[in-house]
Amino acid sequence: MSQGVEFNRLMLEMRSMQMDAMARQKPQVSAMPEVGAPSFADMLGQAVGKVNEVQQASNQLATAFEMGQKGVDITDVMIASQKASVSFAAATQVRNKLVQAYQDIMQMSV
């Protein structure tokens, strides 16, 4: 496959994920959580699970390429590696923001 086709496929996948994320965001009218809505802990757990899945898929693809399996292209391996790297970096930034928010809350006087 040419690099242009791979880039287009990656861009379509990223747009699809962006549209999914935008569809999930709804403005909250009240402070009461919706019935059946996932909790923050559930959403965070799912996000960490997704990061883990992306990293495992990247590792499996890299291993398959290293073993010389047919049908595994270096561009696919590099794209998967970059996806794993970006998702881990994003998860790290979220963690940092959560820690900072916790520290800010703990420093508030009651």
The pair of structure tokens assigned to 34 is 């919706």
Q: At what angle do helices 74-107 and 40-66 cross, to 10 degrees?
A: 150
pTM value is 0.61
**Extents of the domains making up the chain:** 40-110
Cα of 68 vs its chain's centroid, Å: 28
Question: Any idea which of 20-24, 73-77, 83-87 has the lowest mean pLDDT?
Answer: 20-24
Rg (the chain; Cα; Å) = 19
Name the band, by pLDDT with cuts 50, 70 and 90, for residue 7. Answer: low
Share of the chain above pLDDT 70, in %: 75
Mean pLDDT of the chain, nearest integer: 82
Q: Given a cut of 70, is residue 1 above it in pLDDT?
A: no
> What's the rounded mean pLDDT across residues 60-82?
93
Q: Is 2 left (phi over 0), alpha (psi -120 to 50) or beta?
A: beta
The pair of structure tokens assigned to 14 is 């990223």
